[in-house]
């Protein structure tokens, strides 16, 4: 897969030389991402603060279209 979020994370992983602690430190510097090392080498949190939908789905209607 080229482009998108997975490509960003793949590059971070390579830049961190597979060290997950370094990976999560670097991920925390990305815009719209919050990461936390809960337990070094074992437990991590990764939160996407912003989600962008890049593809339009013409058959889907918003709540506003339904009067909600």
**Where are the chain's structural domains?**
4-53
State the pLDDT at residue 52: 63
Res 49: pLDDT = 80
The pLDDT value recorded for residue 5 is 79
Amino acid 14: pLDDT: 98
Question: What digits encode the pLDDT tens for the residues 2-34?
Answer: 677 789 899 999 999 999 999 999 999 998 899
DSSP 6-68: HHHHHHHHHHTTT-HHHHHHHHTTSTTEEEEEEETTTEEEEEES-----S--TT---GGGGT-
Per the listing, tokens 């990976």 go with 23
Residues 27-68 have pLDDT tens digits of 999 988 999 999 999 999 999 886 666 666 666 665 555 554
């Amino acid at each position: 897969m080229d482009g998108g979020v997975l490509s960003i994370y793949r590059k971070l992983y390579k830049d961190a030389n597979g060290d997950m602690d370094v990976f999560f430190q670097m991920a925390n510097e990305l815009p719209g991402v919050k990461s936390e090392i809960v337990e070094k080498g074992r437990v991590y949190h990764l939160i996407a603060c912003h989600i962008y939908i890049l593809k339009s789905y013409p058959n889907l209607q918003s709540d506003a279209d339904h009067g909600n």
